[in-house]
Structure 1
Amino acid sequence: MTYRVLVFGDAHIPSRRDVVPDEFYEHIKNTDYDMALITGDLVKESDMRAALPPLPRSFIVTGNMDYNSAYNFHEKIQLDDFNVLL
């Protein structure tokens, strides 16, 4: 099976910016991803999600700017026979 996986991190919304670049926004909007792997430093998840088109099922790990977050430091994801450590 083939998966379309969006991987990104360091959004820093709203501490460093309020929006994502237009090209990134449009790419997410126009691509049918199966899941998103987010490598932390969201700063505020609700603001990050508001700045992006709707995301598919998402796995998020904590970054050094994610103070008091409930995210894990790592996530193990299994995609059929393929293991991902995020």
Structure 2
Amino acid sequence: MKTCESAIQLREKGKVVVADTTLKWLGAVHLQKGVINPHFEVVKKALLRTVKEAMGDKWSEKMTGAWAQAYDLLAIAIQDEMNAEAPAA
């Protein structure tokens, strides 16, 4: 699931739906690679800046909000899955 797909779902359906198997895979991969929660914010800022630069004059504050919301929802779902996958301390 890409953030772009999440943004489209959010716009069209008002929510983001990701298959459980996809979330489990995303959670496992992020956990295996050593991703920690602060990394998600860094990636969000980079993503928003990159898309804004690519869109040029077409970019708007409304688009910033939509992309940020889509990313946040996807990041929270991945983080939840990472927490579920993590070995108990």
Fold shared by both chains (TM-score > 0.5): no
**TM-score under structure 2 normalisation?**
0.31
User: Larger % of helix: which?
Assistant: 2
Higher relative contact order (CA 8 A, sep 6+): 2
